[in-house]
Structure 1
Amino acid sequence: MAVTPADPGPGPLWWDDAPAAASASRATASALPQVVDVAVVGGGYTGLWTAYYLLRERPGLDVLVLEAEHVGFGASGRNGGWVSALWPVSADTIARRHGRTAALAQLAALRDTVDEVGRVDAAEGLGGGFAKGGAVVVARTPAQEVRARAAAAHSAAWDDGTVWLDTAAARERVDVAATRGATYTPHCARVHPRHLVDGLAAAVRRLGGRVVEGCRVTRTADRVVVLEDGHRVSAGAVVHATEGWTPEVPGLSRRVAPVYSLMVATEPLDDERWSRIGLAGREVFADHGHLVIYGQRTDDGRIAFGGRGAPYHWGSAVRPEFDHDERVFAALRTTLRELLPQLDGIRFTHAWGGALGIARDWHPSVRWDPVTRTGWAGGYVGDGVAASNLAGRTLADLVLGRDTALTTLPWVGHRSPRWEPEPLRWLGVNAGLRLAGLADREELATGRPARLAGLLDLLTAH
């Protein structure tokens, strides 16, 4: 049954009940300090987690978070809400570079981070709606089944808890059409992204930090942060936490590529329909295709569903008009109805998008320069809800000069190569997105692993 989508509305589903007074913390330059202990550029998860742990570990520290729009304006308030221990770089790759012990430590830290987000959500009353139901990633074609079974078998070598579910067991979790089985990992939760980021900002303020919205930073150098209106703030340390907006920071235009991920949401579903779909344990779900998709069951009984496929824009541009691409929205609605025919007749009420940051080698990183006392974290490739918490804890330790288990993890100090200049960047990123879709179609037609997948791996170089 064809369904005409509703007007996507003014913004992400997650923003529907966001506080109307989000601009209350906006400040004029005259109200801002001239000197602080730590200045954090970016009011998303990375910046706020960094501020939170700094203040928790060192009460009384003068921490200033500067956000150009409102907290959670970027990926932190728009994402799919997966708090996952998934990582875009394989354990084998980490082990080749740093050794098996370091790779195991990184994986263990990621698993603990999922639980840490839940602990803080509960202890601080953040209101993030943390629910740890695990992740079900279904296999819907013979080629996807080959990859899924291999992933489950390989996970045993790394003790990451991922297992293969046969068709019946997979459908007990979520009854996806044409399911041949699924992988399941318990190390994943779901949250309401905007509630989590708003609650985190409130916690930072309760601890004595200043979170100031509507303050656009145009330049940082020599531990001085310069705002758009010319106001200057000197800091004992500066942390860059701009993720998809990083290319707009002078000198960082090729550190990450901002790639858009778009989402749609259904109207709330009734209990009868949920009984046919599943997700009773609040699992998140995806499939083993090459083009990334992801979904969750929301607190109010909707399905929020997203995926890649929107084009990369020339010069790493990030613009409000790029948040909407009706071609991609239509594809997402079609894909979700194919996955879950139980949705026949439902309305889609929201559609939105936003940019995430991808490093050239798909490797997230935390960096700290003890000489300039400048830090950065990002390049999460869409896995940043949990990784940003780990980054925040790590950056807090580094700023405070502490040598801990976190500061020795292999992603600390990793330096990804810079992205190619245009037009190579535009050609390469969009070719990769195109190849992912073509590889899925090839597998659907042939039933065999796509030959194009090898070319995709070469192009992405990770």
Structure 2
Amino acid sequence: MDHLTSLRDAVPTPFWLDDPDRPEPAPALTGATDCDLLVVGGGYTGLWTALAAKERDPSADVVLVEAGEAGGAASGRNGGFCEASLTHGLFNGLQRWPAEIARLERLGRKNLQAIEDTVDRHGIDCAWERTGSIVVATEPYQLEGLREGAEIAARYGGKPVLLDRDAVRAEIDSPTFLGGLWDKEGVAMVNPARLAWGLRRACLDLGVRIHEHTPALSLREQGAAIGVRTPYGRITARRVALATNAHPSLLRRHRPYTVPVYDYALMTEPLTAEQLASVGWRGRQGFADSTNQFHYVRLSADNRILWGGYDAVYRYGGRVRAEHDQRPETFATLARNFHTTFPQLAGARFTHAWGGAIDTSTRFCVFFDTSHQGRVAYAAGYTGLGVGASRFGAEVMLDLLAGDRTERTELDLVRRKPLPFPPEPVRAVGIGITKWSMARADRNEGRRNLWLRTLDRFGLGFDS
């Protein structure tokens, strides 16, 4: 079977959302209501914010509005890697916040454990597996980067395991693997949609009022409160937390700080016992390769292989549209690379092919801000690693809205915003040159050209 034939039966639907246990949506908001805290957005950041607000103060009246259905966008369709890192990896964090990276790594590990504790406490059935993840080398020049990564991770409290060619292939058998770096404790695998739905249920159980199919259309000061208009109603809130991810912020001045980038993934049919034995994978770790255009890969609970990443597509003007969720040329590339990595799975077919927008910032991880005299808080820019960091983001927003001075709010990560993206057409040209340069570096043993070195010099570079 060639790689294109393997796509023949793939439905254009995110695998995780194609679930008979998907909850029925809550009714849309109609009429007027008041609340202590309004959360705009029903993805991970919004759900964690609502849940944490009720856990901090059970008497607080919390309302959450979602334009679609909770977990129905990036939170429910991602790869299901829940990472401890708050900075999109140790290297990115070390480059930008060297003086506080030890604290950021510690807080990240604490945050990951808190997510696991929440899953246990609320009985969330989301296939949580603390198996870790392996960064694999597929080219000889990448092996030195793994060794350097192991040394740096150990310096900041990590417990990485460096694997040679035989050792990594004993874990996951691909003829393309030359070595690996296994983070055993800092990454969990999770069914991302079921995590979102579990958080939604936990919010409802604690008394959060959730209204789905209720987009927030505008935000303005209303005396000492904030008024938010929706299609069929309006909300007056003492405080507002904005958790809109890749979608345009209600605060116009925040919009230049993020752009939407489209990411794509495939899911195979369940592997047979013989197919699974041919790749080993008894440890059920996730893995990603070491290139700039990297793949992220994992097993589902029923032993399907999720194969995602590689292409990251920016659309001119930064428009988020449903028609961009399908990109056949990317699916063809992903299928070809899958069969190159696992030639022993030549007969495997893909059942699902999907994509969608994630938000990114110029520092490639979350940033924060407040407005309206501290009555509105905002978190965005996770760049694809929001499954874990979104809980931290929620706690920061609640600290900021309360005016509390905490270990979190004292971080430079929290106090300083990234550089905004330039306006079009400069934005599209810059993103295009950067993407071309990173692909070229992958073909040139990782050597970064003048453009990438210049971005590095100004703190805008990224080498993941």
TM-score by length of 2: 0.91
Deviates more, 1:398-407 or 1:138-147: 398-407
- How far 1:126 moved relative to its partner? 1.6
Question: Which residue among 117, 120, 139 is the counterpart of 1:119?
Answer: 117
Q: Count residues in correspondence.
A: 452
1:131 is aligned to 129
SS at match of 1:456: helix
Which one of the candidate residues 265, 282, 302 is aligned to 2:267? 265
Please name the residue that 1:76 is paired with: 75
| Distance in structure 2 (CA, Å) of the matches to 1:428 and 1:87 | 26
1:118 is displaced (CA, Å) by: 1.4
Q: Is the 8 A contact 1:260 1:308 kept in 2?
A: no
Distance 1:173 1:457, change over 3 A: farther
1:83-94 pair list within 5 angstroms? 83-88=82-87
State which drifts further: 308-317 or 131-140. Answer: 308-317
Kindly state the Cα deviation for residue 58 of structure 1 after the two structures are TM-superposed: 0.5
Q: Say if 2:239 is the partner of 1:237.
A: yes
Q: Which moved more, 1:242-251 or 1:124-133?
A: 242-251
Letter in structure 1 aligned against 2:148? A
Partner of 1:213: 212
SS in 1 for 2:151: helix
In the TM superposition, what is the alpha-carbon distance from 1:178 to its structure 2 partner?
2.4
The amino acid across from 2:56 in the alignment is: E
Match of 1:386 in 2: 388
Correspondence list, 1:335-346, <5 A: 335-346=337-348
1:47-446 matches, within 5 Å, as 47-88=46-87, 100=99, 102-186=100-184, 187-222=186-221, 223-229=225-231, 231-246=233-248, 250-369=252-371, 371-443=373-445
Structure 2: runs of 5+ lacking an equivalent? none
Q: Look up the equivalent residue of 1:58 and give its one-letter code.
A: D
Contact map agreement 1:6 1:350 (CA 8 A) in 2:
no
1:36–1:456 CA distance, 2 compared to 1 (3 A): same
Structure 2 counterpart of 1:455, which letter? W
How big is each residue's C-alpha offset from its partner over 1:89-115, in whole Å with a ceiling of 9 and x where there is no partner? 665775676663x22111111122222
Matched to 2:454, the amino acid is L
* Aligned match of 1:26: 27
- Per-residue CA shift, 1:239-266, capped at 9, x if unaligned? 1101111357644331201111100000
Gaps in structure 1 of 5+ consecutive residues: 444-448
Q: CA RMSD in A?
A: 2.2
Give per-residue Cα distances to partners, 1:358-381, cap 9 Å, x unaligned.
112324223345823111112111
Please say which of residues 414-423 and 248-257 is displaced more in the overlay. 248-257
Distance 2:351 2:453 in 1: 36
Q: Is the contact between residue 226 and residue 375 of structure 2 (CA under 8 Å) also seen in structure 1?
A: no
CA–CA distance in structure 2, aligned partners of residues 341 and 408 of structure 1: 50
Mapped partners of 1:92, 1:323: distance in 2 = 30
- 2:454 is aligned to 458
Shift of 1:351: 0.4
What is the one-letter code of the residue matched to 2:383?
V
Quote how far apart the aligned CAs of 1:430 are. 2.5
Q: Provide the residue aligned with 2:2 in structure 1.
A: 2
Match of 1:435, as an amino acid? S
- Indicate how the Cα distance of structure 1 residues 114 and 280 shifts in structure 2: closer, same or farther if over 3 A, else same: farther
Q: Distance in 2 between matches of 1:161 and 1:20?
A: 37
Using the TM superposition, give the Cα deviation of residue 290 of structure 1 relative to its aligned residue in structure 2, in angstroms. Answer: 1.0
Tell me, what secondary structure is at the counterpart of 1:125?
A: coil
Structure 2 CA distance for partners of 1:294 and 1:97, relative to 1, 3 Å? closer
d(CA) in 2 for partners of 1:418, 1:346: 43
Note the C-alpha offset of 1:117: 1.5
User: CA, structure 1 residues 421+406, in 2 after alignment: closer, same or farther (shift >3 Å)?
Assistant: same
Counterpart AA for 1:456: L
CA deviation profile, 1:380-415 (whole Å, cap 9, x unmatched): 111110000111222233334443333333322221
DSSP 3-state at the match of 2:413: coil
Deviation at 1:194, TM superposition (A): 0.4
Alignment partners' CA distance in 2, 1:21 and 1:371 = 37
The structural deviation recorded for 1:319 is 0.4
Cα pair 1:439 1:451 within 8 Å, conserved: yes
Residues 176-211 of structure 1: per-residue CA shift (max 9 Å, x gap): 222211111121011001000011001001000011
**Matched-pair contact (CA < 8 Å) for 1:298–1:304:** yes
> Structure 1 residues 146, 418: CA separation in 2 closer, same or farther (over 3 Å shift)?
same
> Comparing 258-267 with 77-86, which one deviates more in the overlay?
77-86
Distance of aligned partners of 1:341 and 1:276 in 2 relative to their CA distance in 1, 3 Å threshold: same
Task: Using the TM superposition, name which of 319-328 and 307-316 deviates more.
Answer: 307-316
CA distance 1:51–1:435, change in 2 (3 Å): same
* SS of equivalent residue, structure 2 residue 443: helix
Change (3 A) 1:389 1:20: closer
Q: How far 1:147 sits from its partner (Å)?
A: 2.0
Q: Distance in 2 between matches of 1:264 and 1:155?
A: 31
Partner Cα distance (1:44, 1:378) in 2: 12
Q: Deviations over 1:205-244 (max 9, x none)?
A: 1000011100111222225343342632111111110111
Cα distance, 1:293 vs structure 2: 1.4
Q: Is this contact kept in 1: 2:85–2:389, CA < 8 A?
A: no
Counterpart for residue 446 of structure 1: none
Letter in 2 for 1:276: S
Instruction: Sort the Cα spacing of 1:50 and 1:93 in 2 relative to 1 into closer, same or farther, 3 A.
Output: same
Q: 1:327 to 1:98 in 2, by over 3 A?
A: closer
| CA separation of 1:13 and 1:92: change in aligned 2, threshold 3 A | closer
Contact kept, 8 Å, 2:39 with 2:46, in 1: the verdict is: yes
CA deviation profile, 1:108-138 (whole Å, cap 9, x unmatched): 1112222221111121012121101111111
